[in-house]
Structure 1
Amino acid sequence: MKTFLFLIFILFVSNYSQAQTHLYEHPKFDEITKNHELVAILPFKTSITLRPKDMKDMSAEQLDRMEVSEGLSIQSAMHSWFLKREKRGTLKTNFQDPAVTNAKLKRLGVTFENIDEYTPEEIAKFLEVDGIIMGTFETNKPMSEGASATLGLLVGFYGSTNKAVINMSVYNAEDGLLLANYNKGLNGSIGTSTEDLINTVMRKASRRLSYSD
């Protein structure tokens, strides 16, 4: 009985820690960003960890394409989230169109594989923006329409997501200073789309980040 209760306790602690939210904001965030006129959102570097039996039906190239699709979907969903705030009149800055961002990144030679070789300051200056939002996303089930469709065709029905961790950082272009970092782990079903994920994440993050009222 004691062993059983101990295992339940460990499981509870594990799930609780994964579901925790961590937010760092630079003490001078408002002061530094008050003159930000244009911010770019980069595709999120995504890692999808599938079940071993599902990986048997998928090549490494297919998984890579799925991860790229997921990262682009998060970028698009986050940009759409900010645009909705712009229509409501609660947005304090402008956000670069993802099509422009991605075209410039391609011209610079930045890919999902080598993005870690560039500093936030280098990327921001090339994109000609005042700040950038970038990050990582880890999950065991893709949420974007394209990636989910690919997975469904390859392995059939897939259950609800039971693990996802998103890590988002905001950097100042002038000096590459980290202005904010938001890390959120989610357990269980977190919605059916990337939009659901971003709505969940941004509802809490936006309360502290001054780009939106």
Structure 2
Amino acid sequence: MLDRGTTSDDDDPPLQKWLARRGKMSALSLAELESCKNYTFQLGRGPQRCSDVPSGLTNSATLLKAEKNSPTKEGLLASAFFASPGDGKGKVRFLTFLHQLGDKKAVVKWDTAVTRGMLYIQLPEDPLHECSRDSLVELLDVAEEFSSRAIVFFSKKRNDMKQLVRTFKFIGFDILPPSCDWIPTSQEYFFMSYEFG
């Protein structure tokens, strides 16, 4: 399997192709999509224009908006590790995934960054909704199309940290050592990795 996590190219072809497919379903041109750095997607099956015609998409992420300038990021996503290229890491793009849950009242928000073919998922500081695990599995299903690995990280100060580690291990995540080159240096966050393949 190709390890896209070690590339230092500025562009990430799997992500570009994935974005291009989503761009066909929006009013944005490919050039406009590629010039953006921040994207917001809706997870889950939305209403189809013509339900009996297949869309050609194998997952359920709909592009809601794309922006050239990134809004202020919080937590570790605001660190120098996720700064723009010039540091050999390649282009960093921020993707926000919104997932409206079955009760239609709760929305799970996943703040992520993509660089070197890896998706970094920052868990929110608030306790996760009871359906967040299903939402995360759907996010991983989407991410498999454009990344080789997902890295989830969360604060070590969380009350539910032990439960989160158990849950992520159950899904198939492995604990990353603090010395791993894929992650920023941080004493405050815990990192786990899931390899697609």
| TM-score normalised over the length of structure 2 | 0.29
**RCO (CA 8 Å, sep 6+): is it higher in 1 or 2?**
1
| TM-score normalised over the length of structure 1 | 0.27
Q: Which has the larger radius of gyration?
A: 1
Q: Which has the higher helix share?
A: 1
Q: Which has the higher strand share?
A: 2
